[in-house]
Copies of this chain bind each other. A is one copy, B any other.
Amino acid sequence: MSIRIGILGYGNLGRGVECAVKQNPDMELVAVFTRRSPENVHILTENAVVCNVSDVADWKDKIDVMILCGGSATDLPEQTPKFVELFNVVDSFDTHARIPEHFANVDAVAKKSGKVGIISVGWDPGMFSLNRMYASAVLPNGKDYTFWGKGVSQGHSDAIRRIEGVRDAKQYTIPVDVALEAVRNGENPELTTRQKHTRECFVVLEEGADGEKIEEEIKTMPNYFADYDTTVHFISEEELRRDHSGIPHGGFVLRSGKTGWNEENKHLIEYSLKLDSNPEFTSSVIVAYARAAYRLAKEGQCGCKTVFDIAPAYLSAKDGAELRATML
């Protein structure tokens, strides 16, 4: 019997989950829940239905794992504790600073409802967190570095779009090569924000807008751009659509450390991702953890979990003997 998956929220992430479920023969998408009118939401999977989120309780016994595809700012802090009352859930909550609070909220409900809630799944937090943790456990005497990009930052693109006179914009975060190389060489550099990443902006202006003024406004925007070397390119709407419609991302997690009685030997651990589609890769990680949520629940476990709490074997469709024979 396959694992019955529900999707709550059908944006880029929800569609990514739908595609990822298709690649996993032990899973089946049964329903998509939306705040919109279901008749206006068109999904790709033939045998799944679209429902309004208000009907979700009817599905309590028909869905094994509900994947929550809302945003971290306002949706998930409310949705994950709410829906773990009824379902095993997985979310991609990515506001790093608020994870402890979110964990506590989800854990309290999940412990009562007897469900499993896996939070903060994706690549950062997610696969990058795993790699930071494994590497620091293996090389306690060392230093961690995370670089992001080259990739589209949705938050920074939005920040530019809010400027008066900007019709549309796309922002790329780019790791600085010399900084990355210094880390790889084991130099353990202290790097400022400016030394780690640059920001490149492609901006479409409204007719008659003052480019020079807007460029200045972008480059001096506090939190978003002021601490970075930022490049601004003005392009046409057509160029933006043609050259910048993808949502690529990626990045690097490195740990450089020393071993030996007198710290005489250096080691470098590097993990990197190069992703054509940020939401589809995030979804692929989430779906693997949905398998884990299903299995943990079958074992009678409950409560909130993160990627740190889940043995790797739970993610794989292969059983223990097959994993040992083929992957160890």
Residue A312 at the chain B interface, CB threshold 8 Å? yes
Residue A129 at the chain B interface, CB threshold 8 Å? yes
Known interface pairs A96-B328, A259-B19, A259-B20; A312-B134 also in contact (CB < 8 Å): yes
Known interface pairs A273-B267, A324-B99; A280-B260 also in contact (CB < 8 Å): yes
Q: Find A328's partner among B136, B260, B288, B308 (CB 8 Å cutoff).
A: B308
Q: Find A313's partner among B44, B309, B312, B320 (CB 8 Å cutoff).
A: B309
A103 to chain B, nearest CB (A): 6
Q: Are A265 and B277 in contact (CB under 8 A)?
A: yes
Q: Are A308 and B312 in contact (CB under 8 A)?
A: yes
The CA of A66 and the CA of B182, in the complex, are separated in Å by 38
Known interface pairs A267-B275, A276-B265, A324-B103; A309-B308 also in contact (CB < 8 Å): no
Q: Are A133 and B323 in contact (CB under 8 A)?
A: yes
Known interface pairs A140-B317, A288-B137; A129-B325 also in contact (CB < 8 Å): no
Q: Which of A131-179 contact B (CB under 8 A)?
A: 131-134, 136-141
A218 to chain B, nearest CB (A): 29
* Interface band, chain A: 35 or more
Q: Are B265 and A324 in contact (CB under 8 A)?
A: no
Q: Find A127's partner among B129, B134, B308 (CB 8 Å cutoff).
A: B134
Residue A240 at the chain B interface, CB threshold 8 Å? no
Which residues does chain B contribute within 8 Å of A134, judged by CB atoms? 127, 130, 312, 315
Residue A125 at the chain B interface, CB threshold 8 Å? yes
The CA of A140 and the CA of B308, in the complex, are separated in Å by 21
Q: Are A138 and B312 in contact (CB under 8 A)?
A: no
Q: Are A23 and B259 in contact (CB under 8 A)?
A: yes
